[in-house]
Structure 1
Amino acid sequence: MTTVKEREAIQQQFKARMDEDELLNCMRCGFCLPSCPTYIESGFQETHSPRGRIALMKAVADGLIEPDADFERSLDLCLGCRACETVCPSGVKYGSLLEEARDIIANNKSYSLPVRVARKAAFSGLFPHQNRMRAVAGLIGFYQRSGLQTAARKIGFMSLLPEGLASMEKILPKIPPMKELKNRPEFMPATGRKTMKVAFFRGCLMDTMFLETNDATIKLLQLAGCEVAIPDSQACCGALHGHYGEKESAKELAKRNIAAFEGTGADYIITNAGGCGGFLVEYGHLFQNDAEWHERAEAFSSKVKDLSEILLEAGFLEKVTLELPGQIITYQDSCHLRNAMKSSAAPRELLKALKGAEYREMNEADRCCGSAGIYNIIESEMSMKVLDSKMENVKDTHAATIVTANPGCLLQMKLGIEREGLSKSMRAVHIADLLLEAVKKETLAIQ
């Protein structure tokens, strides 16, 4: 709950920092409404739509309303999926408005002690430090392998946790031993004739909890003829910081990444996580008012590509044979891969190339699954509403395999499978893992 003084400071900052032209760019046409999950799941409440949120931001900036608890709640409930941007006839940059608004609020209000501690621990103490990420992942791995996980489930300890956390515990991927987490490559040669040199953005969660997916990604790039540089000095992409009111911290992480990749001499910077990629391609916007870093940020972002895009460009389908007999597969778009990186066709082209498999397009595959970074933890009720609607569309495909291109989406779809009791007949996999699974084994002799 904000004080009067805090609300006055927030209002002043809205007037000074919010982009007036962008706020006015919204014509209130309502084209965004059918694309907004929270508008639909809230029972068509205008304040939980993009149009409604922009109107509220404008009203706060103009001093017509106070930035009270209801206003904050409207912004908090937004998934930030940016589906509204793809259908907006005026091209409103809603994502930028949302991030700026959240940053203003976060930096001008007093959080309770538990929230302050949690934010500091996550945004300052954990994500910026890959060694700490590895340590946390290592503890989870020990919990999984030591028998503690089995014992905790057997004695019913999980029932003491909040439902969301208990459910997430069930779907966590198997964490490799600490030795594997630490011994990460910095360079991998192309398999066969080299077609290009790429640099791989390994990510923080991806290179710990989803280590096998990162390894699969590197192998696929090698098979495509890519020489792969993996700079060790890279950092977290900063997306969570940027989305949750920690813009200055996001900039510091971005600077580390820009500097880390500038010396690689790579043609492209490859990511296998749509959430990371959606933020990486907008580093230029992050530094739009910074003369020293803007040009370097733009140069960095211009090289960022998703794994699926680069595999097609490098002729991957001509170099390998992909077989996945007898499976029905469907694809769930990563919101930021589709809406920020503008990539939706490439993953589907790769999946349709799997011999023996049947690809079925899911209804509303472009609608958010409800993961949205840490949204499924902090806004569990709305997240589960969005997920339940998504799973109805999944079941209509009768697919045995749901493919995603983002770790958050992957965990969310696994959670949906668990909630629906479908774990024996359905699985969720990252596209990199599925493609490597489908590569004929004789082509997997990576040197």
Structure 2
Amino acid sequence: MLGTTAAQAAKAADSADRLPNIILILSDDIGYADLHSYGHPYAKTPSLDALAAQGTRFTQHYVTGVTCGPSRAGLMGGLFPARISQSVARLGFSGQTTITDLLAERGYTNGHFGKWNLGPSATQVDGTYGIHRVKEIPGIKAGEHGRDDDLFDAAIDFIRENAERPFYVNIWGRSTHRQVRAPQRLIDEFSDLKVDREQFAAPMQKNFDRCLRFGCDLDATMRTYLADVYSLDLNVGRLLAVLDELGLAEHSIVVYSSDNGPAPVEGNKYGEWPTSNTLGYAGVLRGGKHDYYEGGVRVPFIIRWPGHVPAGRVSDDVTSFIDWMPTLAAITGMEALPQPLDGEDVSDIWRGESRERSKPLFWRVNRNASLAAMREGRWKLHYHTRRNRPPRLYDLEADPGETENLAEQHPEVVEAMGVRLQAWVDSLPDNYVRPPRESEQ
């Protein structure tokens, strides 16, 4: 309820049988290396860096899709998006159980604020998928802290109202989706910034070159982009302060991540420079949004859960949002889960263990005869399952930037992985429902 005091909230949170609150902060198109703690030379992200220092930062966490809609569908539903015979972003889940359905049954009060991407407007109502409050907020007008102010405000109000019971909250922001924008006062925080291209890894140089070909000012574009990232960080700081105020920080799982890699530089198509462009950074990783390369599917992932997740740890274990449902189910004591599920319980890895994952990761768009990709152990295979194109095999431990194709040197790996990848592709729907054409952003 509104007006819950810190003492009341702390008393409720200290209950021995209280389930942990769960907060997922998901950015839109932020790249793997767009945070200071992930290696950006100029980014200002003190709140997210502090969250990483208080929890664990993962270096090999993956999304389930290469664009916004499929990525979120895999996270919420526990299936690789290509296994779903329709576009969830346009048509919804159509009866598939979601993690919020399960948590509602477990006694959680669930909220969703910001970007939706889980069905048409008719599904954006309270009660959809077990979400008690659904509030899609476009994030068009920048507020004091940035364009995600309104959705963080709504999420904070929801947390205050439900501080005495376990809650789950999706906070799905718009930063840094095109068009990139930020309040001038935040852009001014970077007024002295001059881009030194030598401070960026090789894949970023193509983005710089493309930006210049379109006539942009690199310094101004970078300032605006980083101001948008900084605005997200300011809102995260506001949220974390409220958890402290209410005495909920010790009893809350807070996760920060992104839905896919950085968007491509697309020129002056959507407005005037610099707001029409993006300069997201994936470090040494090749590619970005729309790509199966690491820059498109590997994203920052930070989790804080005091007393359960080690503080100050950096984990190189391979995890994915396909694991979101089974992992939260294990943490909250659920036993009956929908089948099949493509992910695995990685709560042991969250808690500090280190191990190989037991299930491979797969990516493919929901279109037949298209490229598919697979990660298993150290190996990443890009494979045209129905076209006569040579496969590409990369050793991600030695070459995370996927610069050297080792398919000819390791035909036995290509053969073994190819068989498993083809079997997975053969299990996918023969046909996909095609709604009216519309960009799945």
TM-score class, shorter-chain normalisation, is under 0.3
TM-score normalised by L of structure 2: 0.27
More contact order relative to length (CA 8 Å, sep ≥ 6): 2
The structure with the largest strand share of the pair is 2
TM-score normalised by L of structure 1: 0.27
